[in-house]
Amino acid sequence: MSEQSLPQSTAERADPLVLEREIARLIVQGLNLPNAPEQIDPESPLYGEGLGLDSIDILEIALIVSKQYGVVLRADDQENEHIFRSLRHFARYVAAHRSK
Amino acid sequence: MKPESLPLFTHEGPDAIVAWRDHRPIDARRFLADVHELSQRLPAGRHVLNLCIDRYRFTVGFAASLVAGKCSLLPPAQAPEVIRQLHAFAPDAFCLTDDADCTIELPLLFYRDGVADIGGDDWVVPRIDPAQLAAYIFTSGSTGAPVPHRKTWGRLVRCVQFEAAQLAPLRRRGCAILGTVPPQHMYGFESTVMLPLQSGAALGAARPFFPADIAAELDRLPRPRVLITTPVHLRSLVAADIALPAVDLIVSATAMLPAALAREVEHRYAVPLLEIYGSTETGEIAARRTALEEQWRLWPEVRLEIIEGRCWAQGGHVEQATALADEIELRGPDRFVLHGRTADLVNIAGKRSSLSYLNHQLNGIPGVIDGAFFVREDEHNSVAGVSRLAALVVAPGLDAAQILTQLRDRIDPVFLPRPLLQVESLPRNETGKLPRQMLHALVAQAAVREPHLFA
């Protein structure tokens, strides 16, 4: 059995950087972005400038995180303003609201 | 004889509900006061770029502009280049916005909520000359410059009167209309602004985005309620597997709705789904129940005629005879079938087809969730002078060989995609369309990643 196929430990699951990288990979795969996941600057905006995602991409990301982590995004969420401010903010939001 | 003027809205009296925002109704008395207050505050320019995001504010802005004899400008995008071109088109234009961070480079007028004095008991609904120029709606145009389309008040009203007759829930009192489409787009403008104004229905001020928002906003509106949306939003609702509160009618437009998706939506949410056909040039002209029927029913008085292979629409609310961009087969005076876009005609090795037809075949394969053919414009397609097609396909349960086998049964082999790229989703924009540059970027990426596919 290879190391990668082992279930994630609780410590790994709680590591914000691991989650951040995992989300970057899901976004790149899900949206077919030209970037490599590790090329995404965790501090630059996801929407508009920065990574250059549009609203339909955001809709796709919402589907991805709801399937993967059970996080349901809402446009009228008070925190929404900074959820998409960067990959790091987004990962923190997912970590705080994930149900799986 | 001067044609009779038409009322700004048809709600029955000052207490009728014109809009809902956050569970709270906005009655016609408040609406009219807001319209008069804003109309007196509008600057001198005769052209109003109305970018209000909130649908109620947009509607007040549009109505105030009408009352003040001004023309609304509704652009396809807000990129600085588009705004510069609008400015060249109408140098006196100013921008009405409800976004405090608006950076549009035009004189700005900020919308202010709740400033109008409700005033006394006098109740006079403004009437507008049907010949008054109400709006220029722009399409992006093939050369890059936005192309203006004139819309007079009378034609706009006529069109949504026809639409209202198709939407059964509107016959009941107090119907509410929720839209996921922006009011600046022709379909959103007709179905979420003009339609409620002219049918006495109430519009939802919100523009829900995520599937959970759509469900929550619907839940906030009284029944009967109608959802005005697009294939993109419907696909995302279905994919999110989210429960939707009871809804009385769903309307879809902007891109061809696959019959399988229409059936799934009808089944899952126990609701009729009406698909509307139209264009920015003509406005809405036909509808069909996509889950049940192939044929479209034309709006009354609109006529279609095939002249030298192109289909022309005229009559009814259509301002002037207009060539449609789709291949249409007439099936009677008010019935037709769509066979795809004329603009999408492809000719490969002397054989003709259309991208829409090919897309239709691709999307008809069991297991294909979404798919699109397109003409490759990169270096690879010019070998032997033959432009080949490529296709992007979302079909998680199928491999490329299985999809190609199915396609071979359905289309001429010259049209088989080279390559067929499997992706997790298509880069559709807000209105469900696929920008060409996005498709080509995806192909270029794939060519680097999987060069063997491009041999």
Segment B143-177, tens digit of pLDDT = 446 789 999 999 999 999 999 999 999 999 899 99
Say what the pLDDT of residue B200 is: 96
Per-residue pLDDT reduced to its tens digit, B180-200? 999 998 999 999 999 999 999
pLDDT in tens, B35-77: 999 999 999 999 999 999 999 999 999 999 999 999 999 986 6
Interchain pair A76, B216: CB under 8 A:
yes
The pLDDT of residue B297 is above 70:
yes
Query: Considering only CA atoms, which of A33, A52, A47, A48 is closest in space to residue A83?
Result: A47
Cβ separation A76–B239 shorter than 8 A: no
pLDDT at position B202: 98
CATH of B349-454, one of 3.30.300.30, 3.30.980.10, 3.40.50.9100, 3.90.1150.10: 3.30.300.30
Burial of residue B309, with CB atoms counted within 10 A of its CB: 0-12 exposed, 13-18 middle, 19 or more buried? exposed
Beta strands in B296-366 (DSSP E): 296-298, 303-307, 310-315, 318-323, 326-330, 335-341, 345-348, 351-354
Out of A6-20, B266-280, B294-308, pick the least confident: A6-20
Q: In what order do the strands lie in the sheet with B71-74?
A: B108-110, B94-97, B47-50, B71-74, B133-139, B147-152
Predicted pLDDT of residue B453: 60
pLDDT at A28: 80
Contacts A35 to B, Cβ<8 Å? none
A-chain CB neighbours of B423 within 8 Å are: 32
Does any CB of chain B come closer than 8 Å to the CB of residue A96? Answer: no
Measure the CA–CA gap between B345 and B354, rounded to whole angstroms.
Answer: 4
- Quote the pLDDT of residue A50: 56
Q: What global pTM score does this model have? A: 0.77
Which of A47-56, B15-24, B77-86, B399-408 reaches the highest mean pLDDT?
B15-24
Identity of the highest mean pLDDT range in A46-60, B204-218, B332-346, B401-415:
B204-218
Number of separate helices (H) and strands (E) present in chain A: 5, 0
Rg (CA), chain A: 13
DSSP string spanning A72-86?
Answer: PP-TT-TTHHHHTS-
Position A61 scores a pLDDT of: 86
Q: Say what the pLDDT of residue A77 is.
A: 61
pLDDT category, B404, cuts 50, 70, 90? confident
Whether residue B375 contacts residue B359, with contact meaning beta carbons closer than 8 Å, is answered with no
The band of B395, judged by pLDDT with boundaries at 50, 70 and 90, is very high
* CA triple B1-B6-B11, angle to 5 deg: 155
β-strands B6-7, B17-21 pairing? unpaired
Cα–Cα distance list, B406 to B117, B376, B401 (Å):
66, 22, 9
Structure confidence at residue A15 (pLDDT)? 79
Q: Which residues of B touch A60 (CB under 8 A)?
A: 236, 425
Q: What is the mean pLDDT of residues B309-318?
A: 91
Other C-beta atoms lying within 10 Å of the C-beta of residue B243: 8
Residues B329 and A60: their CA atoms lie apart, in Å, by: 36
Nearest CA among B357, B190, B379, B394 for reference residue B280: B190
User: How far apart are the CA of A74 and the nearest CA of chain B, in angstroms?
Assistant: 6
Q: What percent of chain B has a predicted confidence (pLDDT) above 90?
A: 59
Cross-chain CB nearest to A32 (options B209, B239, B423) = B423
pLDDT in tens, B424-443: 888 888 777 787 777 777 77
Residues of chain A with confidence (pLDDT) below 70: 1-14, 31-35, 48-56, 76-81
The overall average pLDDT reported for chain B is 87
Asked if CATH classification 3.40.50.12780 holds for the domain at B6-293, the reply, yes or no, is: yes
Give the pLDDT confidence score for residue B212 in this predicted structure: 92
- For residue B72, the distance in angstroms to the closest alpha carbon of chain A comes to 25
* Cβ pair B199, B170 in contact under 8 A: yes
- Map out the domains of chain B as residue ranges: 6-293, 349-454
Structure tokens at B143: 């050369």
Confidence bin at B255 (pLDDT 50/70/90): confident
**Reduced to 3 states, what is the DSSP secondary structure of residue B376?**
coil
Q: CB–CB of A66 and B442 under 8 A?
A: no
Model confidence at B7: pLDDT above 90? yes
**Single-letter residue type at B386:** V
Q: How far apart are CA B187 and CA B279, in angstroms?
A: 8
The pLDDT of residue B304: 95
CA distance B348 to B418: 13
Q: What percent of chain B lies above the pLDDT cut of 70?
A: 90
Minimal-distance CA residue of chain A relative to B238: A63
